[in-house]
Structure formats: C-alpha cells, structure tokens
Amino acid sequence: MDIKKRLYLLLGAIFLVIMAGSTGYFILFRGTPNFIDCIYMTVISITSVGYGEVLGVTGNIPAQIFTMILITFGMGIILYGISTMTALLIEGELSGILRKNKMNKLISKLKNHYIVCGGGETGYALIAELVKNKEPVVLIETDKNKIERCKSIENLLYIEGDATDDANLITAGIERAAGILVTLATDKDNLYVTMSARILNKKIRIISRMIDPKLEFKLKKAGADSVVSPNFIGALRMASEMIRPTAVDFLDNMLRSKQSNLRIHEIAVSEKSSFVGKKISEAGIKDKFGLLILGAKQKAGEIEFNPSLSQVFTEGMTLIVMGDVDDIARAKKAF
C-alpha cells in the first residue's frame, strides 16, 4: 500500500475510534456531560495515562463494559500506529517522502530546463554534459541503481518513475521545459514519450534516441525535432578515427579534459540585445568573453562559416562560438 494511504488510514482509524468513544459516552450518560469531557475520557482510556475519571464510569455497568471494549480496540489501533510509524522511520520511507517533496518543490521552480528520460549509459553521459554546460536538468528513471549512479553528478534533480507516465512528465515540468531528451531502452517507449511530450508542450524541443532506422519517420511524425541513432553515430566515429585521428583527438580532449571546460556552443541574439545593429568587430566578443566565432546563422538562412568582422548582428541571429562554458554563459546573458 502507498505510504500516504497508510498514514491517512491510520489517522482516520484513530479519529473514528475517538469519535465513536466520545459519542458512546455521550449517549450512555444521556447527553448530560459536556462533549469535550466525553472526548477527554475517550483519550485517557485508549492511551491508558491513568488520570482520574471525569465521568462516573465506576459503578455504571454499561459504561464499564463500553470502556473495556473501547480500551481493547483503541489500544490495538494505537499499538498498530506506533509500529507503523516505527517501520516507516526504520525503512527510511518517511525521510524518502520528505526528500521527494523537497525535490518536487525545486523542480516546480525550474523554467527553460532540460528533461532526460532514461539514466542508462546514454542518459548518464547526456546529463554529465548538460551539467558541465551549466544547464538545469531533471532525470526521469525507474531503476534506483541508475538513479544512484546519476546522482554522483553534481546537483542532479530526479524523479523516480516511468517516463511513459504523463504524470511524471508533468511533475518534471515539461510544460515549462526548453527541451526533452528521450533515451529509453526501446524504440516503442521512445516513440510513446515523444508523442506524449509533443502533446503536453507544443513548443518544446524533442531529441529522441532511435535503434531501428525504419522508425525515424514515425518518431519525427510523432513530434521529434531530431532523431539520433547510436549505431549511425558510432559508425561515423569509427570512420573519423580512421581518416582524421588528430581532429578526433582534438574534439575528445575538448570534451573530456578535466582541466578545461572548452566547448562549441550557440548563442542566440534576442530582440532586446544591445548588440543588435553592431558589427562583429565592434562587439569585442574575443576581448570581453574570450570566445571565438566559428559561424553565424540568420533567422532564416544558411550557416555562414567564419563570418566577416563586418557582419552585423541582427535579431534572431544565432552565433556558433567556441570557448569556456562560463564565458559562454556570460555571453548568452549579454546577447
């Protein structure tokens, strides 16, 4: 039985015993005592505190029989309540509820965050990279062992549950999220979560893992903005290792180095940015933020590699830059 239901059932049973006992005394003494005295008599009877009688039970045979029955059933419920609370504390379930509620409150405050469905090998690497890029992340995973492994990543928020359940997606804040990455074990589950995510948030960016290439069309039809095949990516990686090993080594060092947080990232130029209308040469990107501009894409157009310094920043332009993640974060705020 669910822990909350057990607690509610216990509290309800105690309340019913107290009300039944109080009402019984009130009827037995024909309504002459104050109802508060009846409640008081019931409580001191079932808790066996040993205080004196506030009602004339001694010598009143019906009241004595009723009191014995009340003590028998009441003490049984009290003892059951004590054992239940002890079990909850020993098993850590109560602290688990408190941790879960605290985590849900933190998640409810998030906005423009990323949701990762699945904490396996792919999900773990995804979360590590997102956290390294200073992005807020929420994990949805059913396997406790996978959650424990992912929790080693700094400040991870998570939901222990099935990502195919819409309630867990809503708890993860999908209606406020910037994107969701679906990395579940089967294409069937990935397809279902993709479709659910698109229904719950029309604007969210969805990236889905795919095992069978035949399902790419269905995943995109279900709402995925992009589909990634580990087998296809692995094949490209193997080919690159063969024909351009130094370039691959450079990218690996960039991604895996513990001394540096160098990354290639994108920065969007908003309509409120003070850089709109300025030339790249006037912005001082290199001096102010230490970033190297690799490319630029207009709101509607192709990517221009190594853009000219005379290129003018426009609303909706996206810059492809390389630099430290902290510098990139500062630049994103500025733009």
Q: What is the pLDDT of residues 13-33, one digit of tens each?
A: 888 888 888 888 888 887 777
Report whether 315 contacts 299 (CB < 8 A): yes
For 153, other C-beta atoms within 10 Å of its C-beta total 17
Architecture (CATH level 2) of domain 261-334: 2-Layer Sandwich (3.30)
- Confidence category of residue 1, pLDDT binned at 50, 70, 90: low
Report whether 160 contacts 141 (CB < 8 A): yes
> What is the rounded average pLDDT of the residues 85-107?
72
Q: Is the pLDDT of residue 237 over 90?
A: no
Q: What is the pLDDT of residue 93?
A: 58
- Please, what is the average pLDDT of the chain? 85
CATH code: domain 3-91 is: 1.10.287.70
Q: Residue 84 — φ and ψ, nearest 5°?
A: -65, -45
Q: What is the pLDDT of residue 50?
A: 63
Query: So where are the chain's domains?
Result: 3-91, 106-228, 261-334
CATH code: domain 106-228 is: 3.40.50.720
201 or 312: which leads in pLDDT: 201
Percentage of the chain surpassing pLDDT 70? 93
Q: Is the pLDDT of residue 230 over 60?
A: yes
Alpha helix stretches (DSSP H) within the chain: 3-28, 35-47, 61-91, 93-108, 121-132, 144-150, 166-171, 187-200, 216-222, 230-243, 245-256, 280-283, 285-289, 325-334
> What is the rounded average pLDDT of the residues 192-208?
95
For 23, other C-beta atoms within 10 Å of its C-beta total 14
- Confidence category of residue 154, pLDDT binned at 50, 70, 90: confident
Q: Which residue carries 């992005």 as its tokens?
A: 135
Least reliable range by pLDDT among 74-88, 181-195, 290-304 = 74-88
Distance between CA atoms of 231 and 238, rounded to whole angstroms?
Answer: 11
Strand partners, 114: 137, 179
Q: What is the pLDDT of residue 64?
A: 83
Domain 3-91 and domain 261-334, same fold? Reply is: no
- Confidence category of residue 78, pLDDT binned at 50, 70, 90: confident
249 or 8: which leads in pLDDT: 249
> What is the rounded average pLDDT of the residues 65-76?
82
195 or 232: which leads in pLDDT: 195
Q: Which helix (H) or strand (E) holds 209?
A: strand 205-209
Q: Is the pLDDT of residue 238 over 60?
A: yes
Q: What is the pLDDT of residue 42?
A: 82
Q: Is the pLDDT of residue 57 over 80?
A: no
Least reliable range by pLDDT among 130-134, 145-149, 157-161 = 130-134
